[in-house]
Structure formats: C-alpha cells, structure tokens
A = this chain, B = another copy of it.
Amino acid sequence: MPRGESRKGPLLRVRYRLELRRREGARARAEALAREQTVELDAALVPAALRSRIPGRVRVLESGPRAARVEIAFDPALVAGDLPQLLNLLFGNVSMQSGVRVEAIAWPDELLATLPGPRRGIAGLRRLAGVPARPLLCAALKPLGLAPRDLAALAGRLARGGVDLVKDDHSLAGQPCAPFAERLARCQEAVARANAATGGATLYLPNLTGPAATLLERAARARAAGCRAALVSPLLVGLDRVAEIAAASGLALLGHPSLSGGLLGRRHGLAPELVWGDLFRLAGCDGVIYPNAGGRFRFGLAECLAVACRLRAPLGGHRPAFPVLGGGVDAGALGRWRRVYGEDTVLLLGGSLLGRRDLERAAATLRRQLEEAPEQ
C-alpha cells in the first residue's frame, strides 16, 4: 500500500461464510463486511482514491437463501507485520455481529515474511528432546493444589520413565500453594537429576502466565534455571507475546488453547485449523496443544486432523510446528493415534497416565511402545 499507488502482487484472500438475513444480498453483505474490517465507513464517505485500495475486494463464491460463501481479498500491507492488526482485520469488528465464520485463508508470501513463526519448529524441538524421528510423549504436572515438592516428585518419576516433555499444567500460575520460582527450581532440578541418572533428555516446561510485567522475567528465569522450553497460553497472555517471549528468552514454546475455544464457533468464529494451525504457528509456537477427538471436548477427527495438517504444511518460509494432542488422550490408544496423526506428533497424556500406580514404569512402557517402529 505505497501511498497513492494501487497495489500489485498477491492479496490476502479470506473466505467467510455469512448467514444472511431475509432479503439480504450476499454481495451487499460481503461488501459491508469488507468495509467494516477496514475503513469502517459507508462507501460514500470513503475518499475516492481509497475506495478501490483499502476495503477488500469481494467475490461471491456461492449464495443460497440463508447463507453465502464469499472471498474478501485484502491488501497484505494493511497488516504491516502486526499480529494484533491481523486478528483485527480477519475478525475484529465482525466478531460483534453474528453468523460470520472465517473458513479459509490464502496467505501471500509477502505477508508471511513479516510474521514471526516458530524459531525451533518440529526439527528444533526434536533436537532439544533428543528424539530424531518418533512421536514425542508429553505429560502434565497436576493437579493444581500440589506443593512444589510434590509436583517435582511427579516430574522426576515421569522423567525417569522417559516422558520427553514434562509440562506444568496450564492452571499453575503463581498460586501460594506452588509459587513460580520454587516450582521452577524444584521441578527443573528433579528432571535434570532424572536425566543424569538415565542419560535421557526430558525437558521440563514451566507455565508462563501473568502478570504481564513479569512474563519476560519469568521466561528468563526459566532459561537461567536450565529450561529449554516452556508452556504459554497465547489467548490468555496475548497471541502477540509468543514471539516476544521466544526471542527474548530463547525458549521453545508450546501453546495451550485455553480460552481460544470461544473463538471457534461453527456459525460464528474462525475455523480451528486457522486459529490453532496457522495463527498460533505464525505467532511463534513450536508446538500447539489442542484437544483430540474422542476426549472431553467437542472437536471431531476431521477438524483435529485439519489442525495437524496446517501446523505441518508449507507456510511461506516458516518452520512446521508440532501438533500436540491432548484433552483426554488415552494411554491405551497411543498406537491408534500414532497411526492417525503420523510420527511428527506429540501425544499428551493426562489422567490416563497419572492414574497409574507405578507411574515411572507406566511411562517407560509407553516410551518403549513409541520407540518401536510404527505399525502399518
């Protein structure tokens, strides 16, 4: 969008599904949406020189009496490398209307090149965990309410059993029962000691939350304590902070989906593969946790596979990121999920592992299972 010039090169093409009111035309509705997301003025009030450049260009793809699919092609310079503004352009003001769903996005390379993306990605996280090829095993330290010494004992058992990634539960913040600094020190020490004993390379991932002014300091503390990775909830702390934390601390980051489900309505919202697949990855997550089909959440297998595909698909020059399947993955079904999702996957176990009496042994059994060649 150089001043006064009209734009060349590929546009940011966004496909919306729109529910139509009675007698509402798909084109008129789509053009109103394109203006709402950009100039926020009636067409008559937009200066002529801007009219063809700033609101997105509308194409009606299909239209029925109640709903339509439209594509709006935006100038990528409207984003200007600014992730909050990207969210705003895609679903800012229209989030306050109804029946608007972002279904698909075609990203121009010019725009992708201005967004951070993962600093480590799948290959980088594999190097840190010392796992060249198989799926990674991840487990969470919980429940909230345990003291640091109990969380650390749990972390030690999981690490001795060979769990690759031992992460804080995402609800562990800085509660008085387990303050951040003490939890970090004890859990990291327990994992380091287990690694020294087994020759393993388990990573402990502390959870980084708030207050905002302490976030980078906590990340730096984690790195100084020897952590190489951490957990962050992009929608809780702000999607735009992921890359900032990664760049400032050098930590690899797993993104947790807390709160994001609210944006994923089937009639009004964004498609899960766009939020967890494209946006969390573009924000800088090296792996993205999301609820697998068949667990405690509402997403079906096709949706969950679509997220995994987007996390691993080519996306400008950005590194692929790990799908991290959680939300009630059963320890007895690891083989099945491995076949479904393939090797570049992290399998996150909660209660179905933590409920075992001999945790170390149960973890070791799962780890051996993943070390065997995959069944065909």
Q: A3-B177, A40-B350, A80-B173 are in contact. Are A50 and B143 (CB under 8 A)?
A: yes
CB contacts (< 8 Å) of A365 on chain B: these are: none
Interface residues of A in 228-246 (CB under 8 A from B): 233, 236-241, 243-244
Check A244–B212 contact: CB distance below 8 A: yes
Interface stretch among A91-99, A125-133, A191-199?
A91-99
Task: Indicate with 1 or 0, residue by residue over A213-235, a CB within 8 angstroms of chain B CB atoms.
Answer: 10000000000000000000100
Q: Is the CB of A45 within 8 A of B258?
A: no
B212:A243 contact, CB within 8 angstroms: yes
**Using Cβ atoms and an 8 Å threshold, which residues of chain B touch A175?**
1, 77-78, 80, 85
CA of A171 to CA of B238, assembled, Å: 17
26 A-B pairs with CB atoms under 8 Å apart are: A3-B177, A38-B143, A40-B140, A40-B144, A40-B169, A41-B143, A42-B351, A45-B355, A54-B144, A77-B175, A77-B176, A78-B144, A81-B211, A84-B237, A85-B209, A87-B259, A88-B236, A91-B262, A92-B171, A95-B262, A210-B240, A236-B240, A238-B238, A238-B240, A238-B241, A262-B268
Taking Cβ atoms with an 8 Å cutoff, the residues of A that contact B are 1-3, 36-42, 44-47, 50, 53-54, 77-85, 87-89, 91-98, 140, 142-147, 169-171, 173-177, 209-213, 233, 236-241, 243-244, 247-248, 257-265, 268-270, 291, 296-299, 327, 350-351, 354-355
